[in-house]
Amino acid sequence: MASSTINRDRLLKRHALMATFGDTGRGGVIRPALSAEETQARRAILDIARERGFACSVDPIGNLFIRRSGIKNHSAPLRIGSHLDSQIPGGNYDGVYGVLAAFEVLETLADQSVSSIRPVEVVIWNNEEGARFAPTTMGSAVHAGALSLADALNSRDGEDLRLEDELARRLNDLGSLTQIPLGTESFGYIEAHIEQGPLLESADTPIGVVTGIQGIIQFNVTVIGEEAHAGTTPRSRRKDALAAALALIDEIRTLTNDTEDEIRFTIGRLTVAPGAPNTVPSKVVFTIDLRHPDEERLGSLHVRISESCKNFVSPCEITAVTTLNSPPVKFDCNVMAAIEKHADQSGIKHMKIASGATHDAKFMAGLCPTGMIFIPCRDGISHNEREWAEFEHMACGADLLMRVVKQLCMSD
Amino acid sequence: MASSTINRDRLLKRHALMATFGDTGRGGVIRPALSAEETQARRAILDIARERGFACSVDPIGNLFIRRSGIKNHSAPLRIGSHLDSQIPGGNYDGVYGVLAAFEVLETLADQSVSSIRPVEVVIWNNEEGARFAPTTMGSAVHAGALSLADALNSRDGEDLRLEDELARRLNDLGSLTQIPLGTESFGYIEAHIEQGPLLESADTPIGVVTGIQGIIQFNVTVIGEEAHAGTTPRSRRKDALAAALALIDEIRTLTNDTEDEIRFTIGRLTVAPGAPNTVPSKVVFTIDLRHPDEERLGSLHVRISESCKNFVSPCEITAVTTLNSPPVKFDCNVMAAIEKHADQSGIKHMKIASGATHDAKFMAGLCPTGMIFIPCRDGISHNEREWAEFEHMACGADLLMRVVKQLCMSD
């Protein structure tokens, strides 16, 4: 591996600092979007940025932009970043790693007095997790015009607090920020992130060159049967909603048992009513979460599962509703090629990988050439206080990001 | 069908009267044990009993006994009855029909001035349903010594009210009652009841001669897997508790698919944690309710299901605990023969039937020769406001009970 030219000690120090904001004392953080703790984390980064002379601005949905000027300062900036909000609780790597890697790049460029043609901006997206305010990836979705600002501002948390009010309140604590509009032009966007899955670790590979974000289709399936006495009702007379649901699930699962193990098929929620041990269930509702990086394959599975639900022979009534249909996103070939080239030049082992989780990069991919760099996380665990990444991999990813940025910011 | 010798109009009138206590206005009642409404119903019967000169007494768990004297009044009484408490909500037939049929028998014996050798007693059991205070069939279980009086009195309802306090309060509203001890000797016990299942209706048969109460075995099965991200975790890396539970259930269900359709196998409760659509489930808990009238068959299924759970190959951890093991109860041959004889003499179509539900007769079967008479209920529906039985069948069952009682109360 080539010797790193980022400041590893500083990256480690910043990582330790961020972990103090919302520290649960069990290895993780509780730092939902627009909480006091997330605001402290944002403020800490902004304070350092201001000390270093970077310009700080905010857009109407609360995304932060930290700019190091370029020679042609009116050109569209090359953007890099991620988010600082966490799941409840979450770990110390998801999101925050990408922000710190990006910020380390900015500081390194300044340390080395690199005269970039284009400005480089660190973006700290607002509310990526959606753990407090729905939906997820809100900041980037609004920035890209995929979600209306009004809808986002009207989102309410579990205590019925409006996002708009919480945003105004928290912005007061962030110091002076230049207001910029939504959807300002980007020259490109690159996000570093932990994989949140086990593939890089299994392959003993420190860098994933992300090819895109797999598509997601979600269904709600409702099975209506008839409540009956468990002791007196013969099988032939039952309309057992759970028995029907399980047989249907079995059929659908068979459709998704691909030998390549690329289809992600999950039933994460299943409820049974009335739920008494001695009563035949009258109603079952379950979710299906289906993901695949290939649009055609995903579409064909969508059709086959819908047909399975529609044609399933049962004494019960079955209804399947598609609740989410988000097609796969492919990242830019040139960005991928740049990442691969610099990894090769640094002698870093890398592999192509599709992102199983969604990221702010998904919406940026519609606006500008976009890419992501993954690093491994232990046992693929994420959204969990046990989330953990090796510092060597964090430094390696940040260094690679720096090299790619150094190349791309020189484009005219 | 032989002309009835009970007073059909009176039976119908009593049925209408009972339906007023706890009337939901939707065809059913809410009349849980020791509620004001159940107490009103009990009081109404006691008032009529006192008018007719029947002796009324109560035991320490609140079972009521209404006695018509016999020539040998110190002999053990022939007992007949059921319960007046309901599910929440329940119907107008479960329990109350058996009490009214028994009371009609007592009144008919009085009308006809029958000089029975033995006393005949109507029993109104306390808390058969267990809907408010656990467990079910409490009154008969305590009477028979299968449940300690102290435990029963300590039972608390959902509002943390103690049964002992509620019982004392309600007894005040029932007028003067002679105190009798638990477990007083019975010469025999016969209970009339709706089937609560569809078999008599399907066979167009007004009378079921109940052979016994099927045994019940209940399990709690816990499947422990590992929470994982639905988008990033390949199938081969998952410890999906729901997938494992469904495969196990499939295997167990196969064991219980008897061609005779006699095995009652129900999974009535199944919970999935954490229950998020995009998270692979880490924990599933489900119940198994298994019933069969044959002790050997039930025991063999118990062993096979336990072994299935124990030997199931899965990345998850599976634990099965037997939470209830209540062996089948067989009713007395002579009581069954007496019911069949009188049905034949009256030209009433009848069939043997095992009870799928449990009844107070289960505990009485351990104390004295016991039997039950079933009548059909529409669509087998019970524990529901839609519960309904044809009056012709109610009268037929009461009349048959009267004939059987008339024979047995003459035994020395």
Q: Kindly state the DSSP code that residue B89 receives in the 8-state scheme.
A: S
Q: What is the pLDDT along chain B (412 residues), one digit of tens a residue?
A: 334 589 999 999 999 999 999 999 999 999 999 999 999 999 999 999 999 999 999 999 999 999 999 999 999 999 999 999 999 889 999 999 999 999 999 999 999 999 999 999 999 999 999 989 988 999 999 999 999 999 999 999 989 999 999 999 999 999 999 999 999 999 999 999 999 999 999 999 999 999 999 999 999 999 999 988 899 999 999 999 999 999 999 999 999 999 999 999 999 999 999 888 888 999 999 999 999 999 999 999 999 999 999 999 999 999 999 988 889 999 999 999 999 999 999 999 999 999 999 999 999 999 999 999 999 999 999 988 999 999 999 999 999 999 999 999 998 8
DSSP calls for A250-308: HHHHHHT--TT---EEE---EEEES--TTEE--EEEEEEEEEES-HHHHHHHHHHHHHH
Q: Which of B197, B235, B257 sits opposite A232 (nearest CB)?
A: B197
Looking at the fold, whether B209 and B174 belong to one and the same domain comes out as yes
Residue at which a domain ends, from A293, A326, A359: A326
Give me A282's structure tokens: 């009258």
Looking at the fold, whether A219 and A209 belong to one and the same domain comes out as no
Q: Do β-strands B64-68 and B55-58 pair in parallel, antiparallel, or remain unpaired?
A: antiparallel
Nearest residue in B to A381, CA atom: B228
State the pLDDT at residue B43: 98
Looking at the fold, whether B290 and B368 belong to one and the same domain comes out as no
Q: Rounded distance, CA B284 to CA B221, Å? A: 8
Which of B66, B62, B79, B57 lies closest to B142, judged by CA? Answer: B62
Q: Is residue B2 part of a domain?
A: no
pLDDT tens, A341-397?
Answer: 999 999 999 999 999 999 999 999 999 999 999 999 999 999 889 999 999 999 999
Q: Is residue A1 part of a domain?
A: no
Q: Is residue B105 part of a domain?
A: yes
CATH number, domain containing residue B227? 3.30.70.360
Q: Which of B214, B232, B270 to mutate to test the interface with A (most CBs of A within 10 A)?
A: B232
> A197 and B234: CB-CB below 8 Å?
yes
Looking at the fold, whether A359 and A244 belong to one and the same domain comes out as no
- The string over A189-223, giving b where at least 16 C-beta atoms fall within 10 Å of a residue's C-beta and e elsewhere, is bbbbbbbbbbbbbeeebbbbbbbbbbbbbbbbbbb
Torsion over CA: B341, B346, B347, B350 (sign): negative
One-letter identity of residue A389: A
In A, which residues are within 8 Å of B263 by CB distance?
235
Q: Which of B230, B243, B265 sits opposite A289 (nearest CB)?
A: B230
Asked, as a colleague might, if the bond just before A135 is cis with ω within 30 of 0, I would say yes
Looking at the fold, whether B51 and B182 belong to one and the same domain comes out as yes
pLDDT tens, A57-84?
Answer: 999 999 999 999 999 999 999 999 999 9
Give me A161's structure tokens: 């607090």
Looking at the fold, whether A341 and A249 belong to one and the same domain comes out as no
With DSSP H G I counted as helix, E B as strand and the rest as coil, what are the percentages for chain B, rounded to 5? 35, 25, 40
pLDDT tens, A224-268?
Answer: 999 888 999 999 999 999 999 999 999 999 999 999 999 999 999
Contact B399, B4 (CB under 8 A): yes
Length of chain B: 412
Residue position matching structure tokens 């029947």: B54
State the pLDDT at residue A250: 96
Nearest residue in B to A216, CA atom: B231
Find the farthest-apart pair of alpha carbons in chain B and give their distance in angstroms, rounded: 83
DSSP calls for B269-287: -EEEES--TTEE--EEEEE
CA torsion, ordered A304, A306, A310, A315, to nearest 10 deg: 100
In A, which residues are within 8 Å of B230 by CB distance?
264, 266, 268, 289, 291
Give me B322's structure tokens: 């037997």
- The string over A39-69, giving b where at least 16 C-beta atoms fall within 10 Å of a residue's C-beta and e elsewhere, is bbbbebbbebbeeeebbbbbbbbbbbbbbbe
Interface predicted TM-score (ipTM) over 0.85 = no
Residue at which a domain ends, from A326, A352, A371: A326
Looking at the fold, whether A222 and A364 belong to one and the same domain comes out as no
Looking at the fold, whether A357 and A287 belong to one and the same domain comes out as no
Q: Is residue B1 part of a domain?
A: no
> Number of structural domains, chain B?
2
Q: Which of B227, B278, B384 sits opposite A289 (nearest CB)?
A: B278
Looking at the fold, whether A312 and A362 belong to one and the same domain comes out as no
Give residue A297's domain range: 215-326
Average pLDDT, chain A: 95
State the pLDDT at residue B329: 97
> A218 and B277: CB-CB below 8 Å?
yes
Q: pLDDT category, A277, cuts 50, 70, 90?
A: confident
> A357 and B266: CB-CB below 8 Å?
no
Nearest residue in A to B241, CA atom: A268
Q: Rounded distance, CA A163 to CA B37, Å? A: 50
Looking at the fold, whether A166 and A221 belong to one and the same domain comes out as no
Give me A149's structure tokens: 């600002």
Q: Rounded distance, CA B195 to CA B389, Å? A: 10
CA torsion, ordered B182, B185, B190, B194, to nearest 10 deg: 10
> B232 and A267: CB-CB below 8 Å?
no
Residue at which a domain ends, from A298, A326, A354: A326
> A195 and B253: CB-CB below 8 Å?
no
Looking at the fold, whether A25 and A95 belong to one and the same domain comes out as yes
Phi, psi of B202 (to 5 degrees): -60, -35
State the pLDDT at residue A2: 36
The arithmetic mean of pLDDT across residues A150-160, rounded, is 94
> B269 and A280: CB-CB below 8 Å?
no
Tell me how many degrees the CA angle B180-B184-B187 measures, rounded to the nearest 5. 135
Contact A326, A215 (CB under 8 A): yes
Nearest residue in B to A246, CA atom: B246
Q: Is residue B177 part of a domain?
A: yes
Q: Is residue A3 part of a domain?
A: no
Q: Is residue A23 part of a domain?
A: yes
Q: Is residue B379 part of a domain?
A: yes
Q: Rounded distance, CA A400 to CA A350, Å? A: 11
Contact B101, B11 (CB under 8 A): yes
State the pLDDT at residue A372: 98
Looking at the fold, whether A70 and A105 belong to one and the same domain comes out as yes
Torsion over CA: A324, A328, A332, A338 (sign): positive
CATH number, domain containing residue A134? 3.40.630.10
State the pLDDT at residue A323: 87
Percent of chain A clearing pLDDT 90 (strictly above) = 92
SS3 B194: strand
Helix axes B96-111, B8-18, angle to 10 degrees: 140
